[in-house]
Amino acid sequence: MAGTGGTTSTGATGTQFALRVDAVSKRFRQGQRELLALDNVSFDIEVGRFLVIVGPSGCGKTTLLRILAGLERQDEGQIWIRPNADGHPAAAMVFQEQSVFPWMTVRDNVAYGLALRGVGRRERFREAERWIRSVGLEGFERAYPHQLSGGMKQRVSIARAFAVDPDVLLMDEPFSALDEQTRTILQQEVSSLSEQQHKTVIFVTHSIDEAITLGDEVLVMTHRPGRVKRLISIPFARPRDVVGVRANPRYGELYEEIWQLIAEEVQQGPREE
Amino acid sequence: MSEQGVSVPSEALPAGRALRRPRAGAKTEVAVQLLSPLALLAVWEITARAGYIDQRFYPAPSSIVQAFWDAVTTGVLLHHLKITLGRLALGTLIGGVPAVLLGLAMGLSRWLRLALDPIIAATYPLPKSALFPLLLLIFGLGEGSKVAMVAIGVFYLAVTNSMEGVLAINPVYLDVAKTFGARRLDVVRTVALPGALPLVLAGLRLGVGTGLILGVLAEMLGARDGLGYLLWSAWQTFSVSSLYAVLFVTAVLGFVSVKVVDILRRWLVPWQSGSRN
Ligand SMILES: Nc1ncnc2c1ncn2[C@@H]1O[C@H](COP(=O)(O)OP(=O)(O)OP(=O)(O)O)[C@@H](O)[C@H]1O
Ligand SMILES: [Mg+2]
């Protein structure tokens, strides 16, 4: 699965790739020192797959997503994202922290990407309202974010990302600040929506449970500098019942396997460059 | 012998509980807020009439009300109030609009900030009242010097707050805009302006207050009309009751002008809950 250079969009068996990351490295300057955040990271994702990235804190998961979202530039290596027909940004991102615009109503927030594309008021509101319904926020179209709970704000972020119909969704620990019930409900929603809409998803989490529940594949990263440690396939079919999956006998084995990989990294600590 | 060990004083618990006693009813709170100034006025009236305090400096409230009423009925107060109000409004406009625009531009452009911030920072600590003689020299005794004084008071607070308003925007909002394909002008329109607005209005609110102070001061020093002039002439003719009456009107003007900005804020910044107040 690990990419071996080249920028072809079709694999040997004719599978279509949504995105390829090829030998990407990223350094940050921190005062006098240079910090290697990502070291020669390579992987590919086929269209419609759900990839979950796990790894120790500070291993470069956010940095990787920011590079894919075009917010940061890698120092070495290449990324390739399947170009979409209309020339709009192919990837939409859901951020780790609260990122809903406080000065816009829920509806304006969700319609934001469409407004930037010049979609007319009537049409973008219709589209926004459809997504607001999909994430269960009917009745809150005209509310401002300060009137919403943390979980509801995160739903707005998710609706905002889906509303621009991106090919790739980048989600950075979107549920980490939520209570368990809300998290489970949103996991089910994101799992179902991405399945229905044939989205390719890259989803970062610290929760092994969440990784197995949602992912088609789980990419385990090493401690800093972040490298690909292992790519694990999750054999559960989708659409998936995110609660039911936990009763599957394979669930425990996968949990154990991923836990071992992460524990190794956490014990080892960051390598010095 | 010494009792240095760890112990919880037994009084601590009841005291802690007393702090958490349920609040008195809203009506009682309002009553206390209204009654305390009324009580003060009553004490003042009584002690003044009884001769316990010097009526030359602290005339009885009833005589202040009388002076106030005379000034209202003769139209004198309204005349001067209108003039001060006009200067305050014009000065706020002349000082505030460029200040907000410049402050926003400085928040958006690093280069502009580098160029102008030192100038503003260097002149800011100067007491603005010290500028009045210079303004008299430049604008003469007419309207210009008074309006300029108000404008300067508004300007500094509005410019620095507007700049801070842009700089204080959480960078994640800029990232969101960028990932959705926003161009520079889109970022200004959809993130920088609305994001800065709460601080812009906070700056204007403070600015209007300072503008009024400086405007009234300028009227005292070099004007033939306005509330400041009225205050000064009350002092010169030693009509102490009128002095108090005008002071009261000036205070009300300050209160109302700040309230006007608050109303503007509630209208322009509907996304901030009514948590303040
Ligand atoms: N803008 C930056 N400037 C300097 N160093 C940075 C910057 N952004 C990230 N880093 C460093 O790069 C490393 C990777 O950061 P990143 O945020 O990608 O980690 P992460 O895997 O997302 O961690 P977490 O799980 O805690 O969110 C960290 O050591 C961090 O300190
Ligand atoms: Mg992160």
Query: pLDDT tens digits for A209-236?
Result: 999 999 999 999 999 889 999 999 999 9
- Per-residue pLDDT, averaged over B224-228, amounts to 92
What pLDDT score was predicted for residue A3?
A: 40
Neighbour tally for B102: CB within 10 Å: 18
Residue B73's φ and ψ, nearest 5 degrees, are: -65, -35
B197, B271, B276, best to mutate vs chain A, most A CBs in 10 Å: B271
> How confident is the model over B91-101, as pLDDT tens digits?
999 999 999 99
**Does residue A25 contact residue A63 with C-beta atoms inside 8 Å?**
no
> CA–CA separation, B164 vs B206, rounded Å?
14
Ligand 1 first shell, C-beta below 6 A: A 28, 30, 35, 37, 57-63, 224
Q: Whose CA is nearest to atom 8 of ligand 1?
A: A63
Atom of ligand 1 nearest to the CA of A26: 12
Judged by CB atoms closer than 8 Å, whether chains meet at B270 and A144 is answered as: yes
Q: How far is CA A164 from CA A91, A131, A169, B56, in A?
A: 9, 10, 10, 75
List Cβ neighbours of B271 (8 Å cut-off, separation of 6 or more).
A102, A103, A104, A144, A145, A146
> Residue A220 is inside which H or E element, if any?
strand A217-221
| Mean pLDDT across chain B | 87
pLDDT at A15 over 70: yes
Q: Which of B81, B50, B16 has the alpha carbon at shortest distance from B229? A: B81
What pLDDT score was predicted for residue A10?
A: 55
Chain A residue numbers touching B194 (CB-CB < 8 A): 101, 103-104
Judged by CB atoms closer than 8 Å, whether chains meet at A112 and B190 is answered as: yes
B273 at the A interface (CB within 8 A)? yes
* Best of A59, A176, A207, A224 for a ligand 1 pocket test (most atoms within 8 Å of beta carbon): A59
Residue A158: alpha-carbon gap to chain centroid: 11
- Per-residue pLDDT, averaged over A106-130, amounts to 95
Task: Kindly indicate the confidence band of residue A12, based on its pLDDT and cuts at 50, 70 and 90.
Answer: low
**Does residue A177 contact residue A149 with C-beta atoms inside 8 Å?**
no
> How confident is the model over A133-156, as pLDDT tens digits?
988 899 999 999 999 998 899 999
Chain B residue numbers touching A91 (CB-CB < 8 A): 179
> How confident is the model over B233-250, as pLDDT tens digits?
998 988 888 899 999 999
Chain B residue numbers touching A66 (CB-CB < 8 A): 175
List Cβ neighbours of B1 (8 Å cut-off, separation of 6 or more).
none
Q: Which of B176, B181, B197 lies closest to A99 in CB terms?
A: B176
pLDDT at B10 over 90: no
pLDDT at A132 over 50: yes
pLDDT at B128 over 80: yes
Please report the ipTM that was assigned to this predicted complex: 0.89
Q: Which of A101, A155, A125, A187 has the alpha carbon at shortest distance from B176? A: A101
What pLDDT score was predicted for residue A9?
A: 53
Q: Determine the Cα angle at B224 with ends B220 and B225, to 5°.
A: 80
Chain B residue numbers touching A112 (CB-CB < 8 A): 176, 180, 190
> How confident is the model over B77-90, as pLDDT tens digits?
999 999 999 999 99
**Does residue B216 contact residue B84 with C-beta atoms inside 8 Å?**
yes
Domain locations in chain A as residue ranges: 17-90+167-268, 100-165
> CA–CA separation, B263 vs B260, rounded Å?
5
Q: Which of B164, B161, B160 has the alpha carbon at shortest distance from B123? A: B160
What pLDDT score was predicted for residue B222?
A: 86
For A165, name the nearest residue in chain B, comparing CA atoms only. Answer: B180
pLDDT at A5 over 50: no
Q: Which of B217, B88, B87, B96 has the alpha carbon at shortest distance from B160? A: B96
> How confident is the model over A23-60, as pLDDT tens digits?
999 999 988 899 999 999 999 999 999 999 999 999 99
Which burial class, exposed, middle or buried, applies to A162 when counting CB atoms under 10 A from its CB (0-12, 13-18, 19+)? buried
Domain locations in chain B as residue ranges: 26-58, 66-268
> CA–CA separation, A125 vs B86, rounded Å?
44
A89 at the B interface (CB within 8 A)? yes
List Cβ neighbours of A219 (8 Å cut-off, separation of 6 or more).
A43, A51, A52, A53, A54, A228, A230, A231, A232
- Per-residue pLDDT, averaged over B260-270, amounts to 91
pLDDT at B19 over 90: no
What pLDDT score was predicted for residue B273?
A: 63
> CA–CA separation, A80 vs A77, rounded Å?
10
What pLDDT score was predicted for residue B4?
A: 52
- Per-residue pLDDT, averaged over B5-11, amounts to 53
A109, A116, A167, best to mutate vs chain B, most B CBs in 10 Å: A116
Strand order in the sheet with A91-94: A91-94, A168-172, A200-204, A50-54, A217-221, A228-233
What pLDDT score was predicted for residue B51?
A: 86
> How confident is the model over A66-95, as pLDDT tens digits?
999 999 999 999 999 988 777 777 899 999
List Cβ neighbours of A89 (8 Å cut-off, separation of 6 or more).
A70, A164, A166, B179, B180, B181
DSSP-derived letter for residue B130 is G
* Best of A25, A26, A61 for a ligand 1 pocket test (most atoms within 8 Å of beta carbon): A61
Task: Kindly indicate the confidence band of residue A272, based on its pLDDT and cuts at 50, 70 and 90.
Answer: low
Lowest-confidence region among A241-250, B7-16, B56-65, B67-76: B7-16
CA distance B100 to chain A (A): 19
- Per-residue pLDDT, averaged over B136-141, amounts to 89
- Is CATH 3.40.50.300 correct for A17-90+167-268? yes
- Residues at Cβ < 5 Å from ligand 2 ion: A 62
Q: Which of A69, A91, A116 lies closest to B186 in CB terms?
A: A116
Segment 159-218 of chain B within 8 Å of chain A by CB:
172-173, 175-182, 186, 190-191, 194-195, 197
**Does residue A90 contact residue A169 with C-beta atoms inside 8 Å?**
no
CA distance B106 to chain A (A): 22
pLDDT at B1 over 50: no
> How confident is the model over A155-214, as pLDDT tens digits?
999 999 999 999 999 999 999 888 888 889 889 989 998 999 899 999 999 999 999 999
Judged by CB atoms closer than 8 Å, whether chains meet at A101 and B179 is answered as: no
Q: Which of A213, A264, A208, A209 has the alpha carbon at shortest distance from A236? A: A213
Chain A residue numbers touching B186 (CB-CB < 8 A): 116
> Residue B96 is inside which H or E element, if any?
helix B76-108
**Does residue A238 contact residue A191 with C-beta atoms inside 8 Å?**
yes
DSSP-derived letter for residue A135 is T
Task: Kindly indicate the confidence band of residue A260, based on its pLDDT and cuts at 50, 70 and 90.
Answer: very high
Q: Which of B39, B41, B62, B35 has the alpha carbon at shortest distance from B245? A: B62
Peptide bond into B171 cis (omega under 30): no
**What is the homologous superfamily of the domain B66-268 according to CATH?**
MetI-like (1.10.3720.10)
| A88 three-state secondary structure | coil
What pLDDT score was predicted for residue A48?
A: 92
Atom of ligand 1 nearest to the CA of A55: 21
> How confident is the model over B22-70, as pLDDT tens digits?
666 778 888 888 899 899 999 999 998 888 888 888 888 888 888 888 8
For B273, name the nearest residue in chain A, comparing CA atoms only. Answer: A146
Q: Whose CA is nearest to atom 25 of ligand 1?
A: A57
Judged by CB atoms closer than 8 Å, whether chains meet at A116 and B272 is answered as: no
Q: Determine the Cα angle at B209 with ends B249 and B215, to 5°.
A: 70
